[in-house]
Amino acid sequence: MSSKLSHEGAAPARLTVCAPLRLEARAIRRGLRGSAGAEVRRTGMGARRSAAQAQRLADEGLAVQGLNVEWPGPVAVAGTCGALAPGLRPGDLVVATEVIGPGGDSIGCPAAPLLAGELRRAGFTVHEGPLGTVTRLMDRAQRDRAAAAGAIAVDMESAFLLAGRAGRPGRPAIVVRAVSDHASQPLLRPSTITGGIAALRALGRTGPVLARWAAATQPRQVLLAGPRSFCAGVERAIEIVERALGSSTAPVYVRKQIVHNTHVVSGLEQRGAVFVDELSEVPDGATVVFSAHGVAPSVRAEASRRSLDTVDATCPLVAKVHAEARRFATDGYLVALIGHAGHEEVDGTLGEAPGAMTLVQSVEDVAALEPADPAKVAYLMQTTLSADEAGVIVDALLERFPGARGPGSDDICYATTNRQQAVRAIAGDADVVLVAGSANSSNSKRLVETAERAGTPAYLIDHTGDIELDWLTGASTVGITAGASAPPAAVSQIVAALSGLGSVEVSERVVATESIRFGLPKEVRQA
C-alpha cells in the first residue's frame, strides 16, 4: 500500500451529460469527442421528460450499487438558458450554485466554484449563481418569480433532472447553461436566433472542461492541518480596524493591506475602511491604522508631522524584532536581517536602523557581507520565514562569524512555526496539499514550500475557483491548510467545493493548540 491514505471504492468516473434538446446534445457531443467514457443523453424538454430521465438516473445508480460498486459517477446537466440578471449576454455561461425549482425548493451544487474557475481559465465568461427552473420559459410571471427568488437565469429542466440525484448523496452533479438572450429584451425577437447560436457554440466548447471535471470526481479524504488560518496578530489587527470603524464617523484609512489577504481587505473595504499605499494619500487630521506588518520610524514621524491620528496594528511579535534591531544597532552591531526583499515587514524593520542593517536573503548574501568589525555582527529574522530556509542562512552566518549574536528568542513566530509543523504532518499522507492564502502572504507561500519539501505537490489558493481540476484528478487524499492571514471560511469553502466532487471524509491532525491573545492599543480599547 502506498504511504498515502487509500479510499476504498473509488472507480473511474463515467460522465453522464443530460442535454434536454437535440441541438444541445449534438453540440456537447461534438465538444466531448475523444473523451472516453462520457455519455451524452438527450433528455427532452420540460418537466415530464426530465422527471422520467431523473428516475432512470436514480435506477441506474441503484443497479450499480447492486454490483457492490459505490460510485455511480458524475452527472452534468448542460444546455441553454434565459437570462434574468443584467450583465448576462448570449454565449456567456451560467454555472449553477443551486437550482431553484418552480415550487421554491433548492438543490445545492457545491462544486460550482471549481467548474466556474476551470471554465474561466478556458476563456469563457462565466456567471456563478442560482438557476431557476420554470415550467414555461416564455412566461414572464414565472421568470419574475424566479428572479425574485435570486435566480440569475432560467431553464425548464435542471431542477427536475437533479431531483433524481438528490436521493443519492455523494453523487456529483453540476449544471452549466449557456445564455441565449438578454434579461432586458423581449423574449421573442429576431436576435433570439443569433443568441441561441452563440449559446450552442459556447456549450459545445465546454466539452473538454466537463471531461476534466468528471475526471476529478471521486470519493476522497480531506486532511486538515491544525493549527491553520488566523493567528493572534492577524485577529488583533482586524479587530483594531473594526473598532476604529465602529468609533468613527469619518473615514478610517489603513496604510498598506492590514494583513496580506484579499478577503480580509475587501471585507473591511466594504465596511468603510480606505486602504492606501502611502501616508501622502491620507488627508491631514484623518485617522490612519498601521498594518500588522509594522512601519519604519520615518513613517511614524511623517504621521506625527501631519497631525494624523494613528492606531498601530503592528503585531507585537514584529514590534519585538524592531526593538531588537534598535538594541543591536545602538550597541554598534551590523544587523543582518534574514528576510525577503520588498516585504512590508522587512521594509519596516530595516527602517529602524538603515545605516546599521542589511538584508540577507541567501547564503551568497552572507558571503558578501563586509562588516566594519567582524566581531560585531548580529542577525534577526522576518517573522514568517520557513524555519528550514532561515536555518541554512543562520548556519552560514555562524560559520563565517562564529561570534554573531542572534535574537533573544526566536523571531520566526509561534504561528508560522506551528503552521509549518502542521502542514508537514499532513503532507506525507496527502496526494496534494491546498494552502488557502493570498499571493502576497509570506507565511502562506512558506506553507506551500514546506509541503513541497515533504514531497507532495502543493498549491496556493486565494479563491476556491483557483483550484485546477487536474490537481485533484486521482487525488484520493487532499491536505488543506491556511496561512495565518487567511480566514477560516476559506478552508470551509474549499471543503464544501470538494464535497461536490464526491463524498468527503474530513479529519484533522492537530500538532499544537494556540491560546495566545494580544491586547489592543489604547486608542481602540474602549471602542
Q: Binding marks (x or -) toward ligand SF4, 130..169, rule CB under 6 A?
A: ----------------------------------------
Question: In angstroms, rounded to a whole number, what is the distance separating the alpha carbons of residues 251 and 508?
Answer: 41
Q: Describe the strand order of the beta sheet including 357-360 as a list of residue ranges.
A: 357-360, 334-338, 377-381
Does 482 interact with ligand SF4 (rule: CB under 6 A)?
A: no
* DSSP single-letter state for residue 333: P
Number of Cβ within 10 Å of residue 147's Cβ equals 17
Single residue of 40, 76, 209, 232 touching ligand SF4 by CB under 6 A: 232
**Residue 369, CB-side half-sphere exposure with 13 Å CA sphere:** 34
Q: Taking each helix axis as running N to C, give the angle between helix 262-270 and helix 232-246, from 0 to 180 degrees, rounded to the nearest 10.
A: 10
Which one, 234 or 467, has the nearer CB to ligand SF4?
234
Residue count at the site for ligand SF4 (CB under 6 A)?
15
Quick one: which of 233, 465, 487, 500 contacts ligand SF4 (CB under 6 A)?
Answer: 233
Binding mask 17-36 for ligand SF4 (x = CB under 6 A): --------------------
Shortest distance in whole angstroms from residue 322 CB to ligand SF4: 12
Of 120-128, 141-149, 314-322, 450-458, the window that binds ligand SF4 (rule: CB under 6 A) is 314-322
- Helix, strand, coil percent content, the chain, rounded in steps of 5: 40, 20, 40
Residue of 443, 444, 493, 503 that binds ligand SF4 (CB under 6 A): 443
Residue number with CB closer to ligand SF4 (158 or 384):
384
Residues of span 401-420 touching ligand SF4 by CB under 6 A: 413, 415-416
Cα separation, 505 vs 488, whole angstroms = 18
Task: At 322, list the grid cell.
Answer: 524592531
Which pairing describes strands 220-226 and 504-510: parallel, antiparallel, or unpaired? Answer: parallel
Which of 372, 415, 371, 428 has the alpha carbon at shortest distance from 397?
371
Question: Cβ of residue 253: shortest distance to ligand SF4, in angstroms?
Answer: 20
User: 227 preceded by cis ω (within 30°)?
Assistant: yes
Smallest distance, ligand SF4 to C-beta of residue 419, A: 8
Q: How buried is residue 193: exposed, middle or buried, by Cβ count under 10 Å (0-12/13-18/19+)?
A: exposed
Interatomic CA distance for residues 433 and 417, integer angstroms: 18
Which residues lie below 8 Å from residue 5, measured CB to CB, with a gap of 6+?
221, 223, 429, 430, 476, 477
Q: What is the DSSP letter of 200?
A: H
**Contact between 460 and ligand SF4 per CB under 6 A:** no
* Smaller CB separation from ligand SF4, 182 or 260: 260
Q: Which of residues 234-263 bind ligand SF4 (CB under 6 A)?
A: 234
Binding mask 263-292 for ligand SF4 (x = CB under 6 A): -----------------------------x
Task: Please say which residue, 16 or 384, places its beta carbon nearer to ligand SF4.
Answer: 384
Residue 292 CB, nearest approach to ligand SF4 (Å): 5
Amino acid 237 reads A
Residue whose CB is less far from ligand SF4, 82 or 521: 521
Residues in the chain: 527
Find the catalytic residue in 24, 157, 345, 352: 345
Shortest distance, CB of residue 287 to ligand SF4, whole angstroms? 21
**Residue selected from 27, 378, 484, 486 as contacting ligand SF4 according to rule CB under 6 A:** 484
Q: Is 317 a residue that touches ligand SF4 (CB under 6 A)?
A: yes
- Residue 250 is classified by DSSP as S
Measured from the CB atom, the residue of 468 and 514 that comes closer to ligand SF4 is 514
Among 231, 268, 295, 357, indicate the residue that binds ligand SF4 (CB under 6 A).
Answer: 231
| Piece of the chain touching ligand SF4 by CB under 6 A; list 226-234, 242-250, 353-361, 496-504 | 226-234
Alpha carbon distance 295, 312 (integer Å): 9
Question: Is 345 tagged catalytic?
Answer: yes
**At closest approach, how far in Å is the CB of 199 from ligand SF4?**
48
Can you give the three-state secondary structure of 6-66, one letter per residue? CCCCCCCCCCEEEECCHHHHHHHHHHHCCCCCCEEEECCCHHHHHHHHHHHHHHHHHHHHH
Q: State the amino acid at position 217 in one-letter form.
A: T
CA proximity to 88, closest of 165, 142, 147: 147
Least spacing, CB of residue 481 vs ligand SF4, in Å? 14
Instruction: Give the binding range for ligand SF4 (CB under 6 A) out of 141-149, 180-188, 232-240, 363-371.
Output: 232-240
What value, to the nearest 5°, has the Cα angle with vertex 195 and ends 106 and 107? 10
Q: Parallel, antiparallel, or unpaired for β 220-226 and 16-19?
A: unpaired
Task: Please identify, using beta-carbon distances, which residue of 17 and 321 lies nearer to ligand SF4.
Answer: 321
Among the listed residues 384, 420, 499, 503, the single contact to ligand SF4 using CB under 6 A: 384
Detail the DSSP E strand segments found in 93-239.
93-100, 106-108, 126-133, 153-155, 173-179, 220-226
Binding footprint of ligand SF4 on the chain (CB under 6 A): 231-234, 292, 315, 317-318, 383-384, 413, 415-416, 443, 484
The catalytic residues are: 345
